[in-house]
Amino acid sequence: MSTAPPTPPDANLLRGHLDLILLSIIQGPPKYGLEISKLAQTATDGYFDLKVGSLYPALHRLEKAGFVRSEFTSGPRSGNQVKAYTLTESGGRELNTRRAEFQTFTQQLGKLWTLTGGMT
């Protein structure tokens, strides 16, 4: 049985969390741009659709900030050079910090949704 793909997030919401999304995907073995964008899609049933126009500027910004490093390597299908990204040590720390912040934020926000009445 298949389910309909979730409605994509609001563009501002996606933009606001793009770095966290990318750092989350890049952790582990090196990955190149196309691979990153496909992983974002497949792992979230199409919820995150990262366009090239936002993906590459964000990757380069993360590299400039020292959170990821890159290396050119041969593409698995075409043999053309692709640029593979890995997390640096500070990128790993940044991912942990941002993940914890995001979890705290959603937990606290969740408490507001369970409010049922006014103050007693």
Partner 1 sequence: MNQTEQYVRQATRGLWGRAQRELRTELEGHIAERCQEFRLSGLSAAEAERQTLRELGAPVQVSRGMLDVYTAPALGKAGVLSALLATAVFSALPQGLAQVTSIYGSFPMTGPTSYLDFEQLKAAIEKAGGQVDGSASNAIIALPGAVVGMNGLSESDWPGISVARNGKTYYQTDALLYSLLSSKLDVRISGWTNPVVNADGAKIAIETSDWQTINWLYASTLRMSFSMPRDDLNTPYALIEPESLTGRLNFKGAFQKAAVYALVIPKLVSWTGMDAKGQPVGGFLNLLNTTAQAQAGSVQFHVPPDFKDYKLYSNPSEFQKALEPYQQLVTAPVAQWNAQHPAPVLLLKLSGHFGPDAYTIVSPGSVKKQP
CB distance 23 to 87 below 8 Å: yes
Closest CB 45 distance from partner 1, rounded Å: 18
Distance of CA 91 to the CA centre of its chain: 13
Which residues bind to partner 1, rule: CB under 8 A? 32-34, 51-54, 56-58, 60-61, 64, 72, 75-78, 80-83
Least Å from the CB of residue 57 to partner 1: 3
Q: Considering beta carbons, is residue 53 or 110 the nearer one to partner 1? A: 53
**71 versus 100: smaller Cβ distance to partner 1:** 71
**Least distance in Å: CB of 16 to partner 1?**
13
- What is the three-state SS of 46-108? CCCCCCHHHHHHHHHHHHHCCCEEEEEEECCCCCCEEEEEEECHHHHHHHHHHHHHHHHHHHH
- Under DSSP, the state recorded for 28 is S
For residues 65 and 100, which CB has a smaller minimum distance to partner 1 in the complex?
Answer: 65
What's the length of the chain? 120
Q: Quick one: 24 or 85, whose CB is closer to partner 1?
A: 85
Q: Shortest distance, CB of residue 102 to partner 1, whole angstroms? A: 22
